[in-house]
Structure 1
Amino acid sequence: MSSSPPPSPPRRRIVGVSTKMYFSAARTKHYIQELLQIISSSSPSSSDLLSQLDIFIIPDHITLASVASQLAGTSILTGAQDAFYEDSGAFTGEVSPAVLAEVGCRIVELGHAERRRLFHETDADAARKAAAAARNGMIPLVCIGERTRIDNTTTAAVEECRPQVEAVLAAVPSDADVILAYEPVWAIGAAEPAGADYVVAVTRQLRNLECVRQRQGATRILYGGSAGPGLFEKLKDGVDGLFLGRFAHDPAQFYRTILEVAAA
Structure 2
Amino acid sequence: MLRPLVTLGVSLKMYFGHEEATAWFARVADAVHEHEAIASGAVRLIVIPTYLQVLPAVEAFAGTPVLVGAQDVAATDSGAFTGEVSAAELAEVGVSVVEIGHAERRRMFAETDGVVAGKTSAALRNGLTPLLCVGETDEVGTDEAMRQSVGQLAAALANAPDGPMIVAYEPVWAIGTASPAPLAHITAVCSGLRGALDMLSERQGSAVIYGGSAGPGLLTGLGDAVDGLFLGRFAHDVEALVQVIDEADAVVRERTGARA
- TM-score of the superposition, structure 2-length normalised? 0.91
- 1:170 corresponds to 2:158: yes
2:234 partner letter:
F
C-alpha spacing 1:212/1:120, structure 2 compared with 1 (3 Å): farther
Corresponding residue of 1:39:
32
Correspondences of 1:4-153 after superposition (within 5 Å): 10-12=2-4, 13-40=6-33, 46-48=35-37, 50-51=39-40, 52-151=42-141
2:29 partner letter:
L
Structure 1 vs Structure 2: percent identity of aligned residues? 44
Corresponding residue of 2:183:
196
| Partner-residue secondary structure (3-state), 2:225 | coil
Deviation for aligned residue 1:236? 2.7
Corresponding residue of 1:256:
243
2:209 partner letter:
L
Gaps of 5+ in 1: 1-8
Deviation for aligned residue 1:171? 3.3
User: What is the distance in 2 between the residues matched to 1:54 and 1:111?
Assistant: 21
8 Å CA contact retained: 1:128, 1:171: no
User: What is the distance in 2 between the residues matched to 1:27 and 1:67?
Assistant: 12
Corresponding residue of 1:220:
207
8 Å CA contact retained: 1:189, 1:226: yes
1:169 partner letter:
L
- 1:159 corresponds to 2:159: no
User: What is the distance in 2 between the residues matched to 1:182 and 1:188?
Assistant: 11
Deviation for aligned residue 1:69? 1.4
| Partner-residue secondary structure (3-state), 1:170 | coil
2:200 partner letter:
Q
Higher relative contact order, structure no. (Cα contacts within 8 Å, ≥ 6 residues apart): 1
Corresponding residue of 1:4:
none
Deviations 1:53-74 (A, max 9, x none): 2111000011111111111111
| Partner-residue secondary structure (3-state), 1:10 | coil
1:167 partner letter:
A
| Partner-residue secondary structure (3-state), 2:19 | helix
Deviation for aligned residue 1:135? 1.0
RMSD over equivalenced CA pairs, Å: 1.5
Gaps of 5+ in 2: 252-260
| Partner-residue secondary structure (3-state), 2:167 | strand
C-alpha spacing 1:50/1:230, structure 2 compared with 1 (3 Å): farther
User: What is the distance in 2 between the residues matched to 1:83 and 1:64?
Assistant: 13
Deviations 1:56-94 (A, max 9, x none): 100001111111111111110000000001111000011
User: What is the distance in 1 between the residues matched to 2:85 and 2:65?
Assistant: 24
User: What is the distance in 1 between the residues matched to 2:45 and 2:159?
Assistant: 25
Corresponding residue of 2:217:
230
2:89 partner letter:
V
Length, aligned pairs only: 248
